[in-house]
Structure 1
Amino acid sequence: MPRYALKVEYDGTPFAGWQAQADQPSVQGAVEAALARLDPGFAAGARIAAAGRTDAGVHATGQVAHADLAKGWDPFRLSEALNWHLKPAPVAILAAAAVADDFHARFSALERRYTFRLIARRAPVTHERGRVWQVLNPLDVTTMRAGAAHLIGRHDFTTFRSSICQAQSPVKSLDRIEIEEIPLPDGTEYRFHLRARSFLHNQVRSIVGTLERVGAGSWHSDRVAEALAARDRAACGPVCPPQGLYLTGVNYPQDPFAG
Structure 2
Amino acid sequence: MIGERHSTMDDTWPVVELRQYTLRPGAREVLIELFDREFVETQEAVGMRIIGQFRDEDNPDRFVWLRGFRDMTSRGEALTAFYLQGDAWKAHGGTASATMLDSTNALLLRPVAQAAGFGLPDRRPQAGATALPPSRFMATIWHLDAPVDDTFVRFFDERVRPVLTGTGAHPVARFETEPSENTFPRLPVREGENVFVWFAAFEDGDRRRAHLDRLARSAAWNEEVLPELSARLSRPTQRLNLAPTARSLLR
State TM-score, norm by structure 2.
0.37
RCO greater where, 1 or 2, for CA within 8 Å and sep 6 or more? 2
Whichever structure has more helix as a proportion of its residues is 2
